[in-house]
Amino acid sequence: IGNRVFVSGLTGIHQFVRVGDFAMVAGLAKVVKDIPPYSTIDGNPATVIGLNSVGLKRNGFNGDTRNAIKKAYKVLYHMGLNTS
């Protein structure tokens, strides 16, 4: 589990799964795959549902850095590219 990760209650995280820095895992999530940094995860099985914007602000990320992370997120998750 990375730095500054927030894991809610009753969350199941499978062994050998890596959780990226500044990620947030919602309660009752079933995590069976690696979690990218700066993301928010929810579901059974868990999927990326967005960025951990509040966590980034609270941890002192400036606006330019947050915008760069947001652009990278859009490329990975909203452009329909093959991420494998």
In the predicted model, is pLDDT for residue 52 greater than 90? yes
Average pLDDT over residues 45-60: 96
Average pLDDT over residues 45-71: 96
List, for residues 21-43, the tens digit of each pLDDT value: 999 999 999 999 999 999 999 99
Q: In what order do the strands lie in the sheet with 6-7?
A: 6-7, 24-25, 39-43, 46-51
Rounded to the nearest 5 percent, the helix, strand and coil shares of the chain are 25, 25, 50
In the predicted model, is pLDDT for residue 67 greater than 90? yes
Residues in contact with 20: Cβ distance below 8 Å, sequence separation at least 6, in sequence order? 2, 5, 34, 35, 36, 37, 38, 39
List, for residues 70-84, the tens digit of each pLDDT value: 999 999 889 988 877
pTM: 0.89
